[in-house]
C-alpha cells in the first residue's frame, strides 16, 4: 500500500503498529549505544563520564538543528503528498542536502571556537575541562554524517519508508558500539585514545548511517530560484522542533550549572539520568516520529477526525509503555546507577533523583506529544509556546528555586514542570478543536485552498 493510501484509509492503530516498530528498534539500538558509550567511558575514568554529561547539551543542540530541519522537510513533504503534489514534495527534499551542508559548516566552526570557554563555564576541574574539549570538538566538527543522515531519513519517512532509516541507525549504532572498546582502551592493535576514542566511534557510526540512507533519501536539487521560498517554508514548520530540541540544550545546561554549585557528582547523576531516560523514551519518541506524517497528511486533506484519533492512539500507547520506565526508575534506581559508576556520592544523589523524575514520566507523555501534534498541523505558535513554557519558563527557574532547599529537593523540578506543561497543552488542544480547520473532502483540484494549514494560532 502506498503512503498516501496508508495515511488516508488504514486504521490508525495499524498505521502506528506498522510505522513504529522499525523506528523503535532503531531508537532502541541508539539508546543501547548511548548507554554503552557511557559505560565504557565510565570504566575508563570518572572524569570522562563527567565530561560526557557536560557535553550532552551541545550534542542535543547539534541534533536539534539536524533533526529539526529534517522534521520541517518531512512535514512539508507529507502535506504536499496529502494533496497529490509529489513533484513539489521531491523539490523540498532536494533542498535539504545543501541546507544540511551549510548548517554543518556553521555549527562546526562555532563549536570549535567556543568549546574551551564552554568547558570552563561548566566545571573547575582541569582534567574534566580537557576531556570536554577533546570529546566535544571531535563530535561537533565531524558531525556532517549526522546532518546528512537526518535529512535523508526524514525524506524516506515522509514517503512511509521506516525500514531503511532503521537499518541505517542500527548499523551506525553497531559500528559505534564495536569501535568504543577498541578505541577507548586500545584493544587488538587499535590506538588507546581514551575519551577521544568514544568520540571517534560516535562520528564513525553517524557517517555509516548517512551512507546507507543516501541511496534512497537523496533528491536532486531544485532550481536555485525556489530556495528562498522553500527554505522559509521548511523552517516555518521545522522551527518548533528545532526550538523544542534546542531548548533542551539550554535547560539541561542551566540544570548542570545549578547542580555544579553542589558538586561534579551531582552533574554526573543528572547526566546518567538522561542516558537511561533515552532508553525508556523509545516508545514516546517513536510515536512522535510516526504521527507527524500521518497528522500532516490528513490535516492537509481535511480529515480532522483522523488527526484526533492519531493523537489519542499515540498518547495512549505512550502512557502504557512509559509506565514501565516509571516502575524501573522508582524501584531500582541504585542498580541502574551502579551500571555506570561505583562513586558512592553519585549513587546517593541519583538514587533520590531517579525516583522523583520517574514519577514525571507519565505527565511527560502529553507534555512532549502536544507540541509535536501542533507542529504537524501547522500551529507553530502553540507548539513553540509549549516548548518555551516547559524548558525556559519552568525547568530552570523551578530548578533554581527547589535547589535552594537542597540537592534532593532540586529533583522536584521534573514532576512539577511536566504536570503544568501538560495542563497548558490540554487547554491549547481544546482551543484547536473549537477553532477552524480544513474540512474533509477538499482536494487540490476542487479547492484552491486545499492543503493550507489554517487554524487558530
Q: Is residue 457 part of a domain?
A: no
Closest CA to 37 of 278, 290, 246, 310: 278
* pLDDT tops 70 at residue 49: yes
Closest CA to 359 of 415, 316, 398: 415
How far is it, in rounded angstroms, from Cα 17 to Cα 79?
Answer: 22
Return mean pLDDT, the chain: 82
Taking CA atoms, 255 is separated from 66, 125, 131, 341, 420, in Å, by 24, 18, 20, 21, 18
Q: Is residue 260 part of a domain?
A: yes
DSSP string, 304-368: HHHHHHHHHHHHHHHHHHHHHHHHHHHH-HHHHHHTT---HHHHHHHHHHHHHHHHTHHHHHHHH
- Quote the domain boundaries for residue 93: 3-434
* The pLDDT value given to residue 142: 94
Phi, psi of 404 (to 5 degrees): -65, -20
Q: What is the pLDDT of residues 412-423, one digit of tens each?
A: 999 999 999 999
* The pLDDT value given to residue 457: 32
* The pLDDT value given to residue 30: 62
Quote the percentage of the chain above a pLDDT of 90: 31
**pLDDT category, 13, cuts 50, 70, 90?**
low
* pLDDT tops 90 at residue 134: yes
Taking CA atoms, 39 is separated from 43, 54, 132, 228, 250, in Å, by 6, 16, 17, 45, 25
**pTM (2 d.p.):** 0.66
Most confident of the following: 18-27, 52-61, 351-360: 351-360
* The pLDDT value given to residue 439: 46
* Contact between residue 421 and residue 362 where contact means Cβ atoms under 8 Å apart: no
* The pLDDT value given to residue 300: 77
133 versus 317: which is more confidently predicted?
133
* pLDDT tops 50 at residue 440: no
* The pLDDT value given to residue 33: 64
* pLDDT tops 80 at residue 195: yes
104 versus 6: which is more confidently predicted?
104
* The pLDDT value given to residue 394: 92
Contacts of residue 254, Cβ cutoff 8 Å, sequence gap at least 6? 395, 396, 399
Q: Is residue 23 part of a domain?
A: yes
Determine which of 144-158, 215-229, 395-409 has the lowest per-residue pLDDT on average.
215-229
How far is it, in rounded angstroms, from Cα 354 to Cα 269?
Answer: 9
How many independent structural domains does the chain possess? 1
Greatest CA separation found in the chain?
Answer: 68
* Contact between residue 222 and residue 94 where contact means Cβ atoms under 8 Å apart: yes
**pLDDT category, 136, cuts 50, 70, 90?**
very high
* The pLDDT value given to residue 51: 87
The Cα angle at residue 419 between residues 318 and 255, in degrees rounded to 5: 100
Read off the pLDDT of each residue in 179-199 and give the average, rounded to a whole number. 91
Q: Is residue 451 part of a domain?
A: no
Q: Is residue 302 part of a domain?
A: yes
* pLDDT tops 60 at residue 444: no
**pLDDT category, 62, cuts 50, 70, 90?**
confident
Q: Is residue 393 part of a domain?
A: yes
Contacts of residue 435, Cβ cutoff 8 Å, sequence gap at least 6? 455, 456
* pLDDT tops 50 at residue 79: yes
* Contact between residue 296 and residue 238 where contact means Cβ atoms under 8 Å apart: no
**pLDDT category, 322, cuts 50, 70, 90?**
confident
Q: What is the pLDDT of residues 248-271, one digit of tens each?
A: 777 888 898 899 889 888 988 998
* The pLDDT value given to residue 236: 78
**pLDDT category, 23, cuts 50, 70, 90?**
low
Query: Which H or E run includes 51?
Result: helix 46-82
Read off the pLDDT of each residue in 227-239 and give the average, rounded to a whole number. 81
288 versus 323: which is more confidently predicted?
323
* pLDDT tops 90 at residue 286: no
Q: Is residue 371 part of a domain?
A: yes
Read off the pLDDT of each residue in 376-404 and give the average, rounded to a whole number. 88
26 versus 345: which is more confidently predicted?
345
How far is it, in rounded angstroms, from Cα 196 to Cα 202?
Answer: 10
392 versus 27: which is more confidently predicted?
392
Q: Is residue 446 part of a domain?
A: no
* pLDDT tops 60 at residue 455: no
Amino acid at each position: 500500500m502506498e503512503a498516501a493510501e496508508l495515511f488516508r484509509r488504514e486504521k490508525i492503530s495499524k498505521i502506528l503498529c506498522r510505522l513504529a516498530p522499525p523506528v523503535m528498534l532503531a531508537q532502541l539500538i541508539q539508546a543501547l549505544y548511548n548507554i554503552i558509550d557511557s559505560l565504557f567511558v565510565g570504566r575508563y575514568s570518572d572524569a570522562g563520564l563527567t565530561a560526557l554529561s557536560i557535553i550532552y547539551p551541545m550534542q542535543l543542540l547539534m541534533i536539534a538543528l539536524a533533526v529539526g530541519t529534517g522534521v520541517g522537510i518531512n512535514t512539508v513533504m507529507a502535506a504536499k503528498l496529502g494533496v497529490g503534489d509529489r513533484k513539489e514534495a521531491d523539490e523540498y527534499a532536494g533542498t535539504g542536502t545543501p541546507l544540511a551542508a551549510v548548517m554543518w559548516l556553521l555549527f562546526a566552526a562555532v563549536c570549535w571556537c567556543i568549546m574551551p570557554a564552554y568547558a570552563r563555564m561548566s566545571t573547575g576541574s582541569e582534567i574534566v575541562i580537557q576531556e570536554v574539549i577533546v570529546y566535544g570538538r571531535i563530535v561537533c566538527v565531524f558531525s556532517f554524517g549526522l546532518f546528512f543522515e537526518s535529512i535523508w531519513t526524514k525524506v524516506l519517512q515522509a514517503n512511509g519508508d521506516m525500514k531503511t532509516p532503521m537499518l541505517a541507525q542500527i548499523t551506525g549504532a553497531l559500528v559505534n558500539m564495536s569501535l568504543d572498546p577498541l578505541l577507548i582502551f586500545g584493544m587488538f592493535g587499535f590506538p588507546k585514545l581514551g575519551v577521544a576514542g568514544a568520540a571517534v566511534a560516535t562520528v564513525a557510526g553517524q557517517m555509516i548511517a548517512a551512507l546507507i540512507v543516501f541511496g534512497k533519501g537523496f533528491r536532486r536539487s531544485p532550481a536555485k530560484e525556489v530556495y528562498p521560498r522553500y527554505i522559509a517554508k521548511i523552517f516555518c514548520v521545522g522551527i518548533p522542533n528545532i526550538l523544542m530540541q534546542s531548548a533542551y540544550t539550554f535547560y539541561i545546561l542551566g540544570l548542570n550549572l545549578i547542580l555544579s554549585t553542589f558538586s561534579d557528582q551531582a552533574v554526573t547523576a543528572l547526566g546518567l539520568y538522561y542516558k537511561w531516560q533515552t532508553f525508556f523514551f523509545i516508545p514516546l519518541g517513536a510515536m512522535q516520529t510516526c504521527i507527524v506524517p500521518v497528522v500532516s497528511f490528513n490535516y492537509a486533506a481535511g480529515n480532522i477526525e483522523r488527526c484526533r484519533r492519531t493523537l489519542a492512539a499515540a498518547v495512549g500507547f505512550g502512557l502504557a509503555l512509559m509506565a514501565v520506565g516509571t516502575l524501573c526508575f522508582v524501584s531500582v534506581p541504585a542498580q541502574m546507577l551502579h551500571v555506570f559508576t561505583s562513586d558512592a556520592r553519585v549513587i546517593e544523589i541519583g538514587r533520590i533523583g531517579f525516583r522523583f523524575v520517574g514519577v514525571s514520566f507519565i505527565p511527560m507523555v502529553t507534555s512532549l506529544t502536544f507540541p509535536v501534534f501542533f507542529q504537524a498541523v501547522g500551529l507553530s505558535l502553540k507548539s513553540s509556546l509549549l516548548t518555551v513554557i516547559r524548558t525556559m519558563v519552568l525547568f530552570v527557574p523551578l530548578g533554581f528555586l527547589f535547589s535552594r532547599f537542597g540537592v534532593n529537593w532540586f529533583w522536584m523540578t521534573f514532576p512539577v514542570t511536566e504536570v503544568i506543561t501538560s495542563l497548558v497543552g490540554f487547554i491549547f488542544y481544546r482551543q484547536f478543536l473549537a477553532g477552524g480547520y480544513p474540512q474533509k473532502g477538499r482536494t487540490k483540484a476542487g479547492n484552491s485552498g486545499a492543503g493550507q494549514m489554517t487554524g487558530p494560532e
